[in-house]
Amino acid sequence: ETGVTQTPRHLVMGMTNKKSLKCEQHLGHNAMYWYKQSAKKPLELMFVYNFKEQTENNSVPSRFSPECPNSSHLFLHLHTLQPEDSALYLCASSQVSGNQPQHFGDGTRLSIL
């Protein structure tokens, strides 16, 4: 139990589908993150939310749309994805954004057909 829960754990979708990834943290943190982890590539930061406000968009394509309704929940809405978007998507949280240790969820393994 990491305190950060991601659903679903696995997702297979076609390029024209719309789906959403969900992340919930039970740690009382105020910052949440989305990362993409592809095989043989470094962990890539996608988005940062601090006190529900998006403070970082790391040049992510618009087919990925984040949503943070409150400090405990984070969503990643997916639409018209490409095969190269297949990866492990990790959510993390920290007390506040910046130099704080991050707690990661187990991730969603996404496969695009």
Which segments of 45-91 does DSSP mark as H helices, in order?
none
Give the binding range for other proteins (CB under 8 A) out of 8-16, 21-29, 42-50, 61-69.
Answer: 42-50
Per CB under 8 A, does 45 bind other proteins?
yes
Give the binding range for other proteins (CB under 8 A) out of 16-24, 60-68, 77-85, 89-97.
Answer: 89-97
Per CB under 8 A, does 105 bind other proteins?
yes
Residue 38, amino acid: S
Per CB under 8 A, does 86 bind other proteins?
no
Q: Which two tokens stand for residue 13?
A: 């979708």
Q: Could you check whether the bond before residue 42 is cis, i.e. omega within 30 degrees of 0?
A: no
Rank residues 58 and 111 by Cβ distance to other proteins and give the closer one.
Answer: 58
User: Nearest CA to 11 among 21, 23, 26?
Assistant: 21
